[in-house]
């Protein structure tokens, strides 16, 4: 039975061979959004109030992430992005209008950059800015 454990020990990676975990730098928006409210045991008014607060928190959360990504792209020398619409509910005219268009980070569209709160979806904007790197266009 010892031969079995010796064989297993050879296959297990040593800690120095593992990929280190990367922690978010200070000042970066949190990666875990707030938890969705529970409906059980609440009146409809309480539920709607908590849901509205949750949707507002999610909009703020994703707007912070989008701003962080925009600053990172600018720091990397990326000047333009393509607006990719992810309109889950099919109700956002901003997503329909800007889907597939190319914008400069220095000159945002009339509605503002992606996920800046201009979305008129019932909950939050899921659109994202696909960076355009010179020489790697699709």
pTM over 0.95: no
- What residue spans define the domains of the chain? 48-138
- DSSP state letter for 88: S
pLDDT classification of 104: cutoffs 50, 70, 90: very high
Q: Dihedral of CA 42/44/45/50: which sign?
A: positive
Strands 80-84 and 128-132: antiparallel
3-class SS of residue 97: helix
**92 and 125 Cβ atoms separated by less than 8 Å:** yes
Q: Dihedral of CA 116/120/125/129: which sign?
A: negative
pLDDT tens figures, 56-103: 888 888 888 888 888 888 888 889 999 888 877 777 888 888 888 999
């Amino acid at each position: 039975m010892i031969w079995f454990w010796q064989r297993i020990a050879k296959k297990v990676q040593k800690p120095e061979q593992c990929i280190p975990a990367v922690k978010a730098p200070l000042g970066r928006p949190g990666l875990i959004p707030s938890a969705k409210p529970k409906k059980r045991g609440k009146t409809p008014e309480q539920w709607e109030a908590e849901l509205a607060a949750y949707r507002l928190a999610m909009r703020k959360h994703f707007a912070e992430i989008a701003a962080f990504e925009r600053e990172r792209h600018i720091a990397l020398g990326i000047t333009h992005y393509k607006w990719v619409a992810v309109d889950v509910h099919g109700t956002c005219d901003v997503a329909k209008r800007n889907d597939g268009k190319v914008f400069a980070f220095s000159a945002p569209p009339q509605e503002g950059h992606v996920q800046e709160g201009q979305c008129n979806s019932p909950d939050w904007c899921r659109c994202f800015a696909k960076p355009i790197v010179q020489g790697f266009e699709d």
